[in-house]
Structures are given as structure tokens and as C-alpha cells.
Amino acid sequence: MCETRNSFSLANNIKNTSDKMILKKISTFQRIYIPFRHLMTSSTENCQNKTFPIDSSPENLKRTKIEKEIEELMSDKSTSIFLPSKIPQKEWPYLISLPSRNQRRRFYRYLKNNEDYADREKRKKATRQDAYLKRIERNESNDHIKYYLGANALFTKIRRKSMSKFYNHNLANAVLFGQKIVFDVDFEDEMDRREHRTCVSELQACYQMNKLAREPFHLHFCNVNYGNEFFKNLVHAIPHLKTVNPLVTVTSDSYLKLFPKERLVYLTPNSKVDLVYDADDVYIIGGLVDARPKPVTMEKALREGIRTAKLPIAKYAEVDKNFYPNLIIKQVLKVLIKMSTCRDWKTAFRELPEWRKEKNNS
């Protein structure tokens, strides 16, 4: 309190602006420092009496090293632009596990991209909110009869909730009568962290795509390991999976337990057999992303004695001589969704990227 009184008496005598600035700094200091002063003195006293153990675990040492490395990169103008403003706490264990400087740099860039994306989204949201408020203001200041959706309009507004109900009704129908498609999510060990992330986002896209389809499939996520990181990320990406009735089946059981073996067909690019579409069959899609493809699903299907098939791309689409038909998960589901309604491979393969041209012969 003594310092406060001093500064007040000082204020009465101060006239010029530079002195006023100094006074401002003093009062800021008092505002921040004085309330916590007793804590700071007591902790200093404690420090004098006690010795604190230094955390010299390898993780902590590596973290210190990484922090220094980030400081170095920060000081360089050419590298600082690729650095995130802060490393989220949950990303530290992974960052520490990265062995090389180059890998860490790539990860910084990834975090920076995430940060930029979040910023962009925030700005977009703010612009949308502004536009919305302006629209409301404009409409309220209008004394005439209001013609727009939500007021007087020829068509009724279809609300998001109604659309959601419609899609859920469609999905419920698929659960009762639709064809079964299995995602075998048993490949956590086959993927690195980046492939994990891609796989989760692909499965999320598959869920969304199936929900919006005219005739959706009944999706099954089989061989789920509820405790692993992959499943946690999947639930984070598809929060619907947590609900009481998610309208898809999520189970730790194998598809062998759920369906008769003779109905199962493992879809794999390494199979020699071209798929003949049958709505009674249960198709299994490997829930994995691999940058360096290995015949993982083919081996698994052979081990389990399940039929295998590949999409007949080479038969119906013009492809390169060295074409390796390794499609990503969501492309496979897209083709199957199309095929289930049109029953024509040529039309179904039009869902694939541009470079696969249609063959002229049938």
C-alpha cells in the first residue's frame, strides 16, 4: 500500500508527458506485481531453503533441445514463416519421438498449416456472422411485406434438422434392408501417424458420403480396438459413433463372426479375380492407407480363407500399361455406391478421377 500512496503523491507533482508515461508504467507494474507480491516473496524464500530436483529425463532433455532448435528457426526470417505460433501440449510427445531435424521441420509446417486453416475458418465465420446480422438489420428496417425464406415465401424453408431426419431415416432403412459393407479397421500397426490421419479422414468422408447416398449401405466397422489411438481419432471425426444408435455397426468382432463366410468378399487390388457385383454379398474394404502399398489385405483374406476380388477397372476403363489399381478407400466406396444403383461398371467408374477414361468396347 505504501508504494500506491507514494505514486499518488508523485502524480500530483508531475506535469510533462514523459513523466506521465513513467507514471503509467509504474501503475501498471503495481497493478500486476503488488497483488502477487506475497506469493513471489514466499516462493523466493522457499527456493532459498529447498533444492528442487532437475528433471533430466531423456524426454525433457530432448524437449529442451527442440525448444532451442525452434528459437534458432525463429530467429531466421526464411524459416520463421513456417513455424506455428505455439506447439500444442498434446503434440509434444510425437514431436519428441521424431528422430530427425527434417522430420520435425515437416511437422512444424503441418502445425502451421493447421493454425492457418483454423484462422481462415475463424475469419470466414466472422464474415458470415456479419453478413447475417446485416441481413437481419436490413429486413427489420423494411416496412413492406417481407418476402424471403423464413418470412413470406413461395417455398417452405427446409431446415437442417429436417434434412438430418430425412438422411437418418434413409440410413435406418439401410440398417434394416440395405447391403452390408464392412470396413476392416484392424491395421493400426501397418500405418504411421500421417497415414492414420488420412485413413480417419477418409473413413469420415465415407460415412458422410454413404449417409447422403440415395440408397445407402449398412456400414460395419469391424475388428475395432476400442482402446487404441486410431479408434479415438475415428470417434472424434465421426461423433455420431458415440451415440446410442449410430445407424452403423461398430464392433470389436470380426466379420467372420457376423456373416456367413461364403457371402464375404475381400476387396483388394492384389486379387486376380474381377468383381461381379452381387447385392447379397458382403464386401470388405481394408481400412488402411499405405504410401508404399503391400498386399496386406490379400494376405489376410488368404489366411482367413475368404474370397477376394478387385474392381474391374482395367476391363471397363482405359488405363496405363503399368497401372496399379490401388484406389483410396473413399473412391472404392464411391464406385460401389454408384454401382449399387446403376449396375453398370462404366457408369460407376465415371466416379473415379479424370485420368481413367472409359473404354469403347463393352
Q: Does 328 bind ligand SAM (CB under 6 A)?
A: yes
Tell me which of 149, 293, 318, 355 binds ligand SAM, using CB under 6 A.
293
Under DSSP, the state recorded for 262 is G
Three cell numbers at 128?
458470415
Q: What distance in Å separates the CA atoms of residue 238 and residue 188, rounded to the nearest whole number?
A: 18
Q: How far is the CB of 118 from ligand SAM (least distance, A)?
A: 28
Cα atoms in the 13 Å half-sphere on the side-chain side of 8: 5
> Any contact of residue 296 with ligand SAM (CB under 6 A)?
yes
Query: In this structure, are residues 173 and 273 in contact, taking their beta carbons and an 8 Å threshold?
Result: no
Reading the block at residue 265, the C-alpha cell is: 468378399
C-alpha cell at 23: 507514471
CA–CA gap between residue 272 and residue 259 (Å, rounded): 24
Is 329 a binder of ligand SAM (CB under 6 A)? yes
Q: Shortest approach of ligand SAM to residue 96 CB, angstroms?
A: 30
What single string gives the DSSP state of each residue in 215-238?
A: S--EEEEES--TTSHHHHHHHHH-
Instruction: Kindly state whether residue 93 participates in binding ligand SAM, applying the rule CB under 6 A.
Output: no
| Window contacting ligand SAM (CB under 6 A); options: 43-51, 145-153, 247-255, 296-304 | 296-304
The one among 289, 306, 337, 339 contacting ligand SAM by CB under 6 A:
289
Q: Which of 231, 297, 316, 339 binds ligand SAM (CB under 6 A)?
A: 297
Three-state SS string over 321-342 comes to: CCCCCCCCHHHHHHHHHHHHHH
C-alpha cell at 127: 464474415
Instruction: Give every CB contact of residue 95 below 8 A, 6+ residues apart in sequence.
Output: 66, 87, 104, 107
CA distance 1 to 241: 58
Pairing between β-strand 264-267 and β-strand 249-250 as defined by DSSP bridges: unpaired
Select 108 or 183, whichever has its Cβ closest to ligand SAM. 183
Q: Which residue, 296 or 302, has its beta carbon nearer to ligand SAM?
A: 296
Of 63-71, 117-125, 239-247, 324-332, the window that binds ligand SAM (rule: CB under 6 A) is 324-332
Going by C-alpha positions, the residue among 269, 266, 267 that lies closest to residue 323 is 269
Among 83, 111, 250, 332, binds ligand SAM (CB under 6 A): 332
Contact call for residue 327 and ligand SAM (CB under 6 A): yes
Least distance in Å: CB of 190 to ligand SAM? 8
- Residue 311 is a binding residue for ligand SAM (CB under 6 A): yes
**Is 286 a binder of ligand SAM (CB under 6 A)?**
yes
Interface segment toward ligand SAM; rule CB under 6 A; list 41-49, 227-235, 243-251, 321-329: 321-329
- Binding window for ligand SAM (CB under 6 A); candidates: 38-46, 123-131, 152-160, 266-274: 266-274
In this structure, are strands 317-318 and 357-358 parallel, antiparallel, or unpaired?
antiparallel
Cβ proximity to ligand SAM: between 69 and 290 the closer is 290
| Cα–Cα distance for residue pair 174/216, rounded to 1 Å | 6
Contacts with ligand SAM, 40-79, as mask; x by CB under 6 A: ----------------------------------------
Question: Measured from the CB atom, is 4 or 326 closer to ligand SAM?
Answer: 326
Q: Are strands 282-286 and 307-309 parallel, antiparallel or unpaired?
A: unpaired
The window from 34-42, 72-80, 244-252, 280-288 that contacts ligand SAM (CB under 6 A) reads: 280-288
| Contact status: 295 vs ligand SAM (CB under 6 A) | yes
Which one among 171, 234, 250, 285 touches ligand SAM, defined by CB under 6 A?
A: 285
Q: Supply φ then ψ for residue 82, to 5 degrees.
A: -95, 5
Q: Residues with Cβ < 8 Å from 91, sequence gap 6 or more?
A: 107, 111
Q: Among all residues, whose Cβ is closest to ligand SAM?
A: 286
Dig out the grid coordinates for 305 from the structure.
Answer: 480363407
Give the binding site for ligand SAM (CB under 6 A): 267-269, 285-286, 288-290, 293-298, 310-311, 313, 325-329, 332
